[in-house]
A = this chain, B = another copy of it.
Amino acid sequence: MENLLCTGCRREVDGGLWQARCPECGEPLEVGPPRGGSVLDGAPLLVRFANFLPRRALGLEGPAAPVLSLGEGNTPLLHLETIGERIGLPRLFVKVEGTNPTGSFKDRGSVAGVQRARALGFRAVGTVSTGNMASSMAAYGARAGMRAVVLVSASIPRAKLAPIAAYNPLLIGVEGDYGRLYHLSLELGPKLGIAFVNSDDPYRVEGQKTLALELWQQLRRQLPDAVVVPVSSGGHMAALLKGFKELHALGYTERVPRLIGVQAAGCAPIATAYQQGADTPAAWGEPRTIAKAIANPSPPSGRRLLQAAKNGAPLHFVTVTDEEIMAAYWRLAHEAGVFAQPDAAAPVAAAQKLAASGLLRPDETVVAILTGHGTKDLTPLESNAPVSLRTCTLDELPRVLERAL
């Protein structure tokens, strides 16, 4: 079995066991470099990019290997001409990850993590999450015929449970510190036979990195100049960096695009540390933002990203306010017909800000990653702009329409 590498101390760690963090320094582990090769169009995600993934570890070798899939990936890359012109980035694209099977980018990582757990003989998979990752893991657990364990904070609003509970996972609300729960899950998992596929699990990261590969493929083997992505735990951004670096190392691309991580001003431990030149995420209290899905005050992959930036990786971090996020949220839906979660709208808000300050230039190809679908969280819509319905009779309709248009 291929070994894993520590992203902190670069130590080699036994890849035959289920572990996500280095037993020595505690930093996330990662899979070694891929061989590369062709992309197999029309196949499930794990087969499409098999030449860029750890095939053996994922149990993908041999023609009869069972391949997990709910149809993840292959999401739209849309050129937003109108919004792009308005904010000074005529070559603005959005990658609509909300069209994944459970409505978010998490499906790419879940399919890889659950496939790996099944290959290792686990009968249960788990995760610590309150939102997108929870429903994603519950769905892939069900698809794989495995028990799914979802640990959430006991204070989670009941309304957020429905799209998770739909898949019938073992759903437990835990009282106490969320950061400690994350580490406790990794400790308990191997003992209880539950493969916890959390945000920075090495195989989740392998799945998430397919987004970088897919962008390169959709842009006809060209790279964008910059990719703007929401940052919560940091695992997604680390995965994109890994994907782009591997494409470069294999000689497919001449460079790695700039990656711009976006945090909400009300929960910005990584962006704050970056601005202060610190190595580890800033200590952060209670998050205060409408973008709940990117409100992790103790991001497990924060250190890894900050160190990569120090070591010369083209990473940048910015913050956006809730006002800026909501302006982008409405703009996307009203002017482009794209309905994304508030956190998913954050990169468009950030792109606008960076265009205004000259850090993104009008001739650059910029891709904003819209991580989740708007229908997954209707709260901002319902609370910020209660829907008013004007009514009329059939007879009045012609006049009402004439006046309104």
Given contacts A70-B337, A101-B99, contact A184 B397 (CB under 8 A): yes
User: Does B405 contact A124, Cβ atoms closer than 8 Å?
Assistant: yes
User: Does B375 contact A163, Cβ atoms closer than 8 Å?
Assistant: yes
User: Does B337 contact A389, Cβ atoms closer than 8 Å?
Assistant: no
Q: Please, which residues of chain B bring their CB within 8 A of the CB of A188?
A: 397-398, 401
Q: Please, which residues of chain B bring their CB within 8 A of the CB of A181?
A: 394, 397
User: Does B339 contact A102, Cβ atoms closer than 8 Å?
Assistant: yes
Given contacts A76-B69, A336-B142, contact A172 B376 (CB under 8 A): no
Q: Please, which residues of chain B bring their CB within 8 A of the CB of A151?
A: 397
A188 to B218, CA, bound (A): 42
A101 to B337, CA, bound (A): 9
Classify the interface of chain A: helix, strand, loop or mixed: mixed
Tell me the chain A residues, 139-184 only, with Cβ under 8 Å from chain B.
139-145, 147, 149, 151-152, 154, 156, 158, 161-163, 165-168, 170-177, 180-181, 184
Q: Please, which residues of chain B bring their CB within 8 A of the CB of A398?
A: 188, 191-192
A207 to B158, CA, bound (A): 39
Given contacts A176-B394, A375-B375, A397-B184, contact A101 B76 (CB under 8 A): yes
Q: Does A54 contact B (CB under 8 A)?
A: no
User: Does A103 contact B163, Cβ atoms closer than 8 Å?
Assistant: no
Q: Does A133 contact B (CB under 8 A)?
A: no
Nearest CB of B to A299, in Å: 20
Q: Please, which residues of chain B bring their CB within 8 A of the CB of A376?
A: 375
Given contacts A96-B71, A99-B71, contact A401 B149 (CB under 8 A): yes
Q: Please, which residues of chain B bring their CB within 8 A of the CB of A147?
A: 405
User: Does B162 contact A401, Cβ atoms closer than 8 Å?
Assistant: no
Q: List 13 A-B contacts (CB under 8 A).
A: A69-B78, A70-B78, A70-B337, A142-B334, A149-B405, A163-B339, A165-B387, A166-B374, A168-B330, A176-B393, A193-B405, A194-B401, A373-B375
Q: Contacts A175-B392, A194-B405 given; 9 further ones with Cβ under 8 A?
A: A41-B41, A70-B76, A101-B338, A143-B336, A144-B337, A152-B389, A165-B385, A170-B405, A181-B394
